[in-house]
Structure 1
Amino acid sequence: MTDKNYRSLRNRIHEIIFEADTPTGKFFDVFLMISIVASVLVVMLDSVASYREAFGEWFYVLEWFFTILFTIEYVLRIISVQRAKGYIFSFYGMVDLFSILPTYISILLPGSQYFLVIRILRVLRIFRVLKFTQYLIEVDQLRSALASSRRKITVFIFTVVTMTVIMGSLMYVVEGGKNGFTSIPKSIYWAIVTLTTVGYGDISPQTNFGQMLSAVIMIFGYGIIAVPTGIVTVELGKAANKYTTEVCRYCSREGHDKDAVHCKYCGHKLDP
């Protein structure tokens, strides 16, 4: 095979595997989605003892069939991109890799094949297949908002942790071991459960002061719930933009502006 024919073949494979705009690309992605869902169902059914006893051999064959199929697809994806490292260490690249590793690892560690349910994450590609561009926009906006909010959220979490440590320690002093607060860590566990308004009820204060303190913590809990929501909502308002589903051949990233000529992540020219 000449170098020109090899490049043409790589381009054709890339068009089929990474692009959902062409008939063959859409057919490939739909077939891939069906295979992913079917493989996850096989793993789930195999975990049911009665089904495993009746159809264990079929499940074993199907598991290896899907694993080999996805392995071939993974190799083709690496071959078809200009920079294999960009795809391998991308989000989808890591998901694709971890979706096939458990079967091979199960040869040495029996039972690890049940981690194959991670394949369900690959169904996220259905947004591209069905051209749900608006959903891709929202996903990218949410990701951007969370990234922009990380410092504020970190400070918020640190504040909540500090509050639970103080409240838990105070409750340990007030209630003591006779009422179930046998240690500071267990009292902090109670404070976390109460502050998050979960309220398991396995530990509860018995003294008047302890009950008053728990009421204060529960009220704080309702107020605290709204804080991270407000932080992310503000950042979401700043993240509005319009993107396409085009995948860069060099870094395997998507989410480019509709009028983009070059990839905003690696700088290479996008395909026309």
Structure 2
Amino acid sequence: MLRHLYDAPSPDAKRFRYGLLALDVASIAWIVGASFVPPGAFELTVDALFGLVLLGEFGMRLAASGRPWRTLVRPVNLADLLAILSLLLAPLLQGAFAFLRVLRTLRLLHSVRLIGSLRSDLPFFRRNEEATLAAAHLVVFVFVMSGVVFETQHRTNPQIANYVDALYFTVTALTTTGFGDITLPGLAGRLLSVVIMLAGVTLFLRLAQALFRPVKVRFPCPSCGLQRHEPDAVHCKACGALLNIPDEGG
């Protein structure tokens, strides 16, 4: 039953996965919103509620995989588990443990995987899969680095008062605009700025490459297994096998 919900193309399974996507969006919205809320009982309660719900979903995902231990040790799932624990352990995330709150933004990785699994319902995604994933990875990087900036700076840097300030700095550093109204002081701050700029250039180049590369469709060749072909291809360019690529007509 669980495997059906996570993998099947049926309408009820797709509704379940859309619900998971909505849960991820809500959790990310709370990550941003919580930076404006003074630490207190309300924030800790919402953290705990999100943590319990996400932990339940994580357990269901492991059970649905059929190989829970092998699935658990995958880096992306370990990151997801750490993000969930950072919510459940919010009362302890003070002082030396505060940096763990950054892991909340890693829920975006889960959202990207969900979008990929729903490609059959999203014609735009199917037509522009590579560019969409490149853009999604750039967004994930921006949010994660904004979380790093916020958690490492907001206690000592008056220019970083909330997540939006951190997001603003990350985007200006990423685009090398550098307005200079917000800076990260000290050696650690400068090194973090350098990492954002260098990684940002790489991700932007990847996105540009995906946008301007000729569009191809993903369809495994029945003979040689080649995955990507021209949209109007009749034969595989690698082995010459006859293809039957479905299209939407028009």
TM-score (norm 1): 0.43
Structure label with greater radius of gyration:
1
TM-score (norm 2): 0.46
Higher RCO (Cα < 8 Å, 6 or more apart): 1
